[in-house]
Chain A
Amino acid sequence: MKIKLLKEEIESASIHHLQRISGEDLKKCYQCGNCSGGCPVSYEMEIAPSQVMRFLQLGKIEEVMKANSMWVCVGCLQCYSRCPKGCSVAAVLEGLRQTVLRKGEDFEKISKIPMQFLKNAPQQAIVCGFRKFVS
């Protein structure tokens, strides 16, 4: 992939917004890779947690938005507990989810979920899933 680095993107409003709602300073990440190493679901992610941080540092929020990473994150906070700089990728991913959901764009349509699945899944999982995927 070829990218063009632009100050306007690195310092863009959406990056500032993401930092504000997640409470994380993206610049703090020094790319040690501990989060990607410990994440229990990183193998399912199109962009690993540490690379999510990297693309955001470079101002490439669109790249991250296209990927499934934020929806795969289960919020177990393994990344946060291991991070030597005290960053929480989970918080950043939650922030990204919120930027989508707050626009009213649901990731899951409840009506499209099979009834059988809803009947069998534990109630707590369903509530959590709604909270995470639905605006």
Chain B
Amino acid sequence: MPRIGVFVCQCGNNIAATVDTKKVAEEMKKLPGVVYTCDYKFMCSSPGQDMLRQAIKENKLDGLIVSACSPHMHEKTFRKAAEAAGLNPYQCEITNIREQCSWVHHDTTKAVGTVKSIDLTRMTIERLKKNRPLKKIKIPVKKRALVIGGGIAGIQAALDIADGGREVILVEKEPSIGGNMARLSETFPTMDCSQCILTPKMVEAELNENITLLTYSEVEKVDGYIGNFTVQIKRKSKFVDEERCTGCGECIEKCPFKTESAFELGLAKRKVIYTPFPQSVPNVPVIDAPNCPKIQKDKCGACAIVCGPKCIDFKMEDKIVTEEVGAIVVATGYQLMPNERFGEYGYGRIKDVISGMQFERLASSSGPTGGEIRRPSDGKVPQNVVFIQCVGSRDEKKGVSYCSKVCCMYTAKHTMLYKHKVHDGQSYVFYMDIRSGGKRYEEFVRKAIEHDDAMYLRGRVSRVYEKDGKVIVQGADTLSGSQVEIEADMVVLATAIVSREGADTLAQKLGIGYDKYKFYNEYHPKLRPVETVTAGIFLAGTCMGPMDIPESVAQGSAAASKVLALFSADEMAREPITAGVNKTTCNACWDCVTACPYSAIERESVKDRQGNIVKWLARVNEGVCQGCGVCVAACRSKSVDLRGYTDEQVFAAINSF
């Protein structure tokens, strides 16, 4: 006969208001196998847990029920308490009489709630009687990490993991790490030069012994599970031998062909063999194959002739490398919404209407104008510049409903940069609200207005057109209640931040969730902000939504600390609530394999002594299984069972109802 204890929690008045907990406890005592019952105000409190431990020891309990809140809340608490008293923790079960009973019944006479609580608790008791003690699953962990994306968030994550003494593979799609931050001129609110604070980190990432940089590479395929991922990475052909290249730049010098520079966003041209920007890391040029006459038509080849160490190979091909890692940090960043979507602003039609990112390049000392603000059409210094905020952001109809978060701040920064470079110029900013939440952010915006003479106008722009070499901007200033017209020389659009193209495909490869804007979902927006639903995969930076540099860096570090915590033990313990296959009855129909959302079921062959395959069987990989139970429902021969929730247990519970 089992010796079961039942502990009924009052949860202050949360349960006691509609459930007579004393009566529940008394009724339970009448059941066979129940040797101890009690009710208490807060079972989860320290005295409550003490009571539980003492009762286990005094009454020699071999199983216990806590009738309280949802198991999501305190299952771990009570299982730990049971374990401390010498019991197998999985011999402790929770009955939910709060969320599923007291909170949904309003009968203060307690009649309904009490009867229901008695039923629910009795069912759990019957289920508990069929419990088998379970042991935590131990999984070996490979202590190497993969970071996808070499922007500031990815670099920070890689550096922190490397500083923790673990190996990191940093994969970057572009020929250089640095991401969007490398494009920025100066950063708010301190106005330090972006390159000056970013490049030391880039160089550190290159020189760190624990970091392997795989630039010009993309993740092709991800298999496995936490602690044991197998990742296939496509290394796009650079046509330059990275090992031997000295980065002298002779090839770039001699290359006679030019094409539009993606890094400069159409404001400048670059050579066909190129590095995106002067401080590129690694400082190894790549050949832009579709634009290279040598590769396309076998003409030219100047770069190979001048190359001293002879490291240019026009026959180089893409290759796939396979890496085994224990954890993955996804930091793939953002891109900007196409401005052409908003015809009223004339982007693409009017040359002097540019995006905020293009303005960053104009203001950057390493940019196409060497840091002078010159408009694209005729190279003149603009005397009147209009900045338009919320282009695509907070626009449910044509854009996105969310706020892009950084535009208010960078527009204020732009007006300052402009004033610092063109002293007699006038800047105008059309805004809907100024969102400057952050340390020293509001002061920064006020400084732009009060000190650097930015004229802020509350309202949107509805039309931008050209007239006599001027760009006429027509909008509103709702503060004075007037329609406003400005003859501008240049217009800068603060374009919405959107997720990267292909963000969804990568999420599918990784098995992580994303929202309708294809930003990746965190496990919990407040309490688990850098984890995903897939164990072992972490997030950092703007791949989750718009954020600024300090936030991205903080998340990079946060993700790294999660990775290091995972790597701190040789083995990782997981909950043993997983599926198991009965080998004698499984007939290998593979319905479970198709049904499993986590790809946790493998096909296993059974061989005879000669090594011939005699039978196939389904086998559950406990490292991947999340215990959802889909396979149990799918199995036609009833060969799969879920530990802790076996058919036998579920039937016992239902029968006692």
Are B484 and A5 in contact, with the CB atoms below 8 A?
A: yes
A2 with B480, Cβ < 8 A, contacts A25-B450, A30-B446 known: no
B458 at interface, CB cutoff 8 A:
yes
Are B480 and A51 in contact, with the CB atoms below 8 A?
A: yes
A94 to chain B, nearest CB (A): 22
A31 at interface, CB cutoff 8 A:
yes
* Residues of the B chain whose Cβ atoms lie less than 8 Å from the Cβ of A51: 479-481
Are A55 and B453 in contact, with the CB atoms below 8 A?
A: no
* Residues of the B chain whose Cβ atoms lie less than 8 Å from the Cβ of A20: none
Contact of B450 among A2, A5, A28, A60 (CB under 8 A): A28
- Roughly how many angstroms separate A5 CA and B477 CA in the complex, as a whole number? 11
- Roughly how many angstroms separate A5 CA and B485 CA in the complex, as a whole number? 6
B235 to chain A, nearest CB (A): 53
* Residues of the B chain whose Cβ atoms lie less than 8 Å from the Cβ of A25: 450
Write the chain B residue with the least CB distance to A50.
Answer: B479
Report A1-43 CB contacts with B as 1/0, cut-off 8 Å. 1111101001100000000000001011011000000000000
B621 at interface, CB cutoff 8 A:
no
Report A48-67 CB contacts with B as 1/0, cut-off 8 Å. 00110011011010000000
* Residues of the B chain whose Cβ atoms lie less than 8 Å from the Cβ of A5: 428, 455, 457, 484-486
A31 with B482, Cβ < 8 A, contacts A25-B450, A57-B455 known: no
B449 at interface, CB cutoff 8 A:
yes
B582 at interface, CB cutoff 8 A:
no
Are A27 and B449 in contact, with the CB atoms below 8 A?
A: yes
B561 to chain A, nearest CB (A): 40
Q: Name the interface residues of A83-133: CB closer than 8 Å to any CB of B.
A: none
- Roughly how many angstroms separate A1 CA and B455 CA in the complex, as a whole number? 19
* Residues of the B chain whose Cβ atoms lie less than 8 Å from the Cβ of A7: 383-384, 426
B637 at interface, CB cutoff 8 A:
no
Chain A: interface size category = 20 to 34
- Roughly how many angstroms separate A5 CA and B429 CA in the complex, as a whole number? 12
- Roughly how many angstroms separate A58 CA and B428 CA in the complex, as a whole number? 11
* Residues of the B chain whose Cβ atoms lie less than 8 Å from the Cβ of A30: 446, 449
Q: Name the interface residues of B474-498: CB closer than 8 Å to any CB of A.
A: 477, 479-487
A35 to chain B, nearest CB (A): 13
Contact of A1 among B426, B450, B479, B483 (CB under 8 A): B483
* Residues of the A chain whose Cβ atoms lie less than 8 Å from the Cβ of B483: 1-3
Write the chain A residue with the least CB distance to B442.
Answer: A30
Are A3 and B453 in contact, with the CB atoms below 8 A?
A: no
* Residues of the A chain whose Cβ atoms lie less than 8 Å from the Cβ of B458: 31
* Residues of the A chain whose Cβ atoms lie less than 8 Å from the Cβ of B383: 7
Are A54 and B480 in contact, with the CB atoms below 8 A?
A: yes
Write the chain B residue with the least CB distance to A28.
Answer: B450
Are A10 and B485 in contact, with the CB atoms below 8 A?
A: no
* Residues of the B chain whose Cβ atoms lie less than 8 Å from the Cβ of A27: 449-450, 453
* Residues of the A chain whose Cβ atoms lie less than 8 Å from the Cβ of B482: 1-3
Chain B: interface size category = 20 to 34
Are A2 and B384 in contact, with the CB atoms below 8 A?
A: no
A10 with B455, Cβ < 8 A, contacts A3-B482, A3-B484, A4-B486 known: yes
Report B536-575 CB contacts with A as 1/0, cut-off 8 Å. 0000000000000000000000000000000000000000
- Roughly how many angstroms separate A2 CA and B485 CA in the complex, as a whole number? 8
Write the chain A residue with the least CB distance to B426.
Answer: A7
- Roughly how many angstroms separate A25 CA and B426 CA in the complex, as a whole number? 18
B444 to chain A, nearest CB (A): 14
- Roughly how many angstroms separate A109 CA and B303 CA in the complex, as a whole number? 89
* Residues of the B chain whose Cβ atoms lie less than 8 Å from the Cβ of A1: 480-483
Write the chain B residue with the least CB distance to A58.
Answer: B480
Are A55 and B486 in contact, with the CB atoms below 8 A?
A: no
Write the chain A residue with the least CB distance to B452.
Answer: A27
A67 to chain B, nearest CB (A): 12
* Residues of the B chain whose Cβ atoms lie less than 8 Å from the Cβ of A11: 426
- Roughly how many angstroms separate A2 CA and B450 CA in the complex, as a whole number? 25
- Roughly how many angstroms separate A30 CA and B448 CA in the complex, as a whole number? 12
* Residues of the B chain whose Cβ atoms lie less than 8 Å from the Cβ of A10: 426, 455
Write the chain A residue with the least CB distance to B424.
Answer: A7
A88 to chain B, nearest CB (A): 16
A7 to chain B, nearest CB (A): 4
B481 to chain A, nearest CB (A): 7
Report B446-466 CB contacts with A as 1/0, cut-off 8 Å. 100110010101100000000
B387 to chain A, nearest CB (A): 13
A84 to chain B, nearest CB (A): 12
Report B382-402 CB contacts with A as 1/0, cut-off 8 Å. 011000000000000000000
Write the chain A residue with the least CB distance to B386.
Answer: A5
A12 to chain B, nearest CB (A): 12
Contact of A31 among B479, B484, B486 (CB under 8 A): B479
Write the chain A residue with the least CB distance to B488.
Answer: A5
* Residues of the A chain whose Cβ atoms lie less than 8 Å from the Cβ of B384: 7
* Residues of the A chain whose Cβ atoms lie less than 8 Å from the Cβ of B449: 27, 30
Q: Name the interface residues of B335-376: CB closer than 8 Å to any CB of A.
A: none
- Roughly how many angstroms separate A1 CA and B487 CA in the complex, as a whole number? 18
Q: Which of A4, A5, A31, A54 has the most CB of B within 10 A?
A: A5
Are B485 and A4 in contact, with the CB atoms below 8 A?
A: yes
Write the chain B residue with the least CB distance to A51.
Answer: B480
- Roughly how many angstroms separate A51 CA and B449 CA in the complex, as a whole number? 18
Write the chain B residue with the least CB distance to A26.
Answer: B450
- Roughly how many angstroms separate A60 CA and B457 CA in the complex, as a whole number? 14
- Roughly how many angstroms separate A107 CA and B41 CA in the complex, as a whole number? 78
* Residues of the B chain whose Cβ atoms lie less than 8 Å from the Cβ of A55: 480
* Residues of the B chain whose Cβ atoms lie less than 8 Å from the Cβ of A54: 477, 479-480
Write the chain A residue with the least CB distance to B454.
Answer: A27
A59 to chain B, nearest CB (A): 9
A to B CB contacts below 8 Å, 25 in the list:
A1-B480, A1-B482, A2-B483, A2-B484, A3-B483, A3-B484, A3-B485, A4-B485, A4-B486, A4-B487, A5-B484, A5-B486, A7-B384, A7-B426, A10-B426, A25-B450, A27-B449, A27-B453, A28-B450, A30-B446, A51-B479, A51-B480, A54-B477, A57-B455, A58-B455
* In the A-B complex, the 3 residue pairs with the closest CB atoms: A7-B426, A2-B483, A1-B482
14 additional A-B pairs beyond A5-B485, A54-B477, beta carbons within 8 Å, are: A2-B484, A3-B484, A4-B484, A4-B487, A5-B457, A7-B384, A10-B426, A25-B450, A27-B450, A28-B450, A30-B446, A30-B449, A54-B480, A58-B480
